[in-house]
Amino acid sequence: MNSRNVLLAVCLAFALTSAANAKVSPWIEVRSPHFRVLTNGSAVDARHVAHEFEQMRYVFASRFAGLRLDSGAPMSIFAARDENTAKSLEPGIWKGKGAKPAGWFKHGWEKQYVMVDLDRETTGLNTYALVYHEYTHSILHMNAHWLPTWLDEGLAEFYGYTRFESHKILLGAPTDRQINRERPIIPLRTLLEVTQSSPYYHDEDKVNQFYFESWALVHYLTFGSGMGNGEKLSQFFRELQTGTDQEQAFQQVFGSFAEVEKGLDESTRLLAVTAAVVPDESQVDEKTFTVKKLTVAETEAELAGYHLWGHDLASARPLVQQSLADDPKLGLAHEENGFLLFADGEDAPAAEEFSHAFALDPSLYLSLFAKTMLSPIATSKVAADEAAFHAALVHVADLNGQFAPAYVQMARLAARENDPQSAFGLSRRAEELEPWRAGYHLLTGQILLRMGKGAEAAQYAEFVAKHWDGPDHNEAVELWNAIPAAQRPAGESLVEQIPNNTQSAQGTVQTVQCGSKDQPWTMVVRSDGHPLTFRTKGFFAFGFSDTLWWGEDHFSTCRHIQGLRVIVRYHPVANANYTGDAVEVDVRDDLLAADSAAGKMTAAAKQ
């Protein structure tokens, strides 16, 4: 299930004025050993940006042995030469009031994008703190099954303010968060229990205090007396990944809450902040970074991708069309056009575009994956089709061995073919690649249940239910309830998180009608043989299983959910045309719908 409870507007027709319609001049691409920078500025500036990212990567490599540093979602860094370019890339952030960030980070399941404003690079020591904060999150989330919110945000703040010089790196620099130092600190137990749904994470009066104290606690647990320059913090991190209870692990590693709270309080009142100077031994020389001038068509396609994976389809469309006109044989532009067509519900033309893109550029594994998933072989039960489906997924994994969705689909295919051991191994591989996605843990739990290993499946369900909120939590409870009571831990119970004063219904989606300014979003669900019609106005919560192949990057409330099972939480209405107003909708991707298939798989596991 989507690891965030995404709030979606009924109408997502962004009326953003973008430079997409303006004439595009060629950009340049700079490649360092691990990063790719695109700019309309100078190669010198782009090399400097790439070098800083290399230094940041070196910080993690040197301080955390064995940390995975390269994601299955490749990252492209767009270095905008001036504010006008930055505005064209991120028009939305210039619409609000207040200071504008000098950088932006787009987390994606398939691709990640960074924007830095070169015009703002010299305005302060912490110009790109937001970017490095989010980059830290991306590193943490590809290595951790779960982190408490204070640690996730505290580490991101701590490393986000890293400063770089020519031959050294300053680690532990103070945060820019402005707080009232006379105000009492958040009690340690309260801080440890904060979640993303807590007031400390959202209320304007409390959020800065939470971020500052999370930074301060990480700083203290790194540089405080007896903390071993971060060794104990690393030990605590490892304990959490083994499933140790946070409170138990905290006191076991750091000592009593009272002792830590006292040390933290004293450290936050000091005028001087301890920092560490780390020699830059990354041995990366900017002069060795390659420079390539892009064609106009390549530039247009790259800019289109930035908007497309940022869900700004209106800005992406003209750029894609112009790129195709300028170079009809550019595979990347055809891939992006395929995703635009897919977003419009034009699946057949989208599949053709993905096929064309992959034929033009055999390195485009996303095109191969998408065309395969849109092909009839993805759902066929004919042996030859299943073999072809598996071969295509293996090819995707060969092109990008860290692309977890390919392993998810191979696991589901193995389950369908009653090969539980292979299904389990493939699902575990997906978990290792994307441990932050609750739905991947639940997929493994579902497979274990169908292998007759209910007790192990219960551990997965309990882990997710206790560490995730919203739709992820509820999907875990559903798995828990499917496990025979005798195989669940005695005395343990899990309950769904349901919005107050709502009723629940579940069934299969028949039709969806997207909303407009004058028309509500509506969905017809067949439940127990009867059609139920739900509507909503404005915002509503929408969650979906992580195992849906199009994932967060291409999910739409308007397309591709027909035929899937949904759970709807709603307020009943006195209207003959509607059952109720939807408050929350969860789309589920069932592993094995038929009991007979589950039975066959269980039998196969026992052989």
**Strand arrangement, sheet containing 163-164:** 163-164, 168-171, 276-279
Instruction: State how far the alpha carbon of 243 is from the alpha carbons of 147, 239, 467, in Å.
Output: 11, 7, 10
Residue 259 within any structural domain of the chain: yes
Q: What is the pLDDT of residue 166?
A: 73
* CB neighbours of residue 12 within 10 Å: 15
pLDDT at 365 over 70: yes
The mean pLDDT value for 247-275 works out to: 86
Domain interval for residue 224: 22-279
Single-letter amino acid, residue 38:
L
Residue 529 within any structural domain of the chain: yes
pLDDT, tens digit, for every residue of 521-575?
999 999 999 999 999 877 889 999 999 999 999 999 999 999 999 999 999 999 9
pLDDT at 20 over 50: no
| Band of residue 175 on the pLDDT scale cut at 50, 70, 90 | confident
Q: What is the pLDDT of residue 277?
A: 87
Q: What is the pLDDT of residue 133?
A: 96
Residue 384 within any structural domain of the chain: no
Q: The domain spanning residue 162 has which CATH number?
A: 1.10.390
The mean pLDDT value for 351-371 works out to: 98
Last residue of a domain, one of 252, 279, 306: 279
The mean pLDDT value for 259-270 works out to: 84
Q: Above pLDDT 70, what percent of the chain?
A: 91
Note whether 158 and 150 are within 8 A (CB).
Answer: no
Q: What is the pLDDT of residue 265?
A: 83
Note whether 439 and 475 are within 8 A (CB).
Answer: yes
pLDDT, tens digit, for every residue of 202-235?
888 889 899 999 999 999 999 998 999 999 999 9
Q: pTM for the whole thing?
A: 0.92
Residue 98 within any structural domain of the chain: yes
Last residue of a domain, one of 231, 262, 279: 279
Residue 461 within any structural domain of the chain: no
Residue 261 within any structural domain of the chain: yes
Say what the alpha-carbon torsion angle 471, 600, 396, 111 is, to the nearest 10 degrees.
0
Residue 332 within any structural domain of the chain: no
Residue 535 within any structural domain of the chain: yes
The mean pLDDT value for 456-469 works out to: 96
Q: What is the pLDDT of residue 124?
A: 53
pLDDT, tens digit, for every residue of 3-14?
333 333 333 333
Number of domains the chain is built from: 2
Q: What is the pLDDT of residue 272?
A: 60
pLDDT at 446 over 80: yes
Q: The domain spanning residue 575 has which CATH number?
A: 2.40.50.140
Note whether 145 and 246 are within 8 A (CB).
Answer: no
Closest alpha carbon to 89 in 61, 131, 117, 62: 117
Which residues partner with 279 through β-bridges? 168
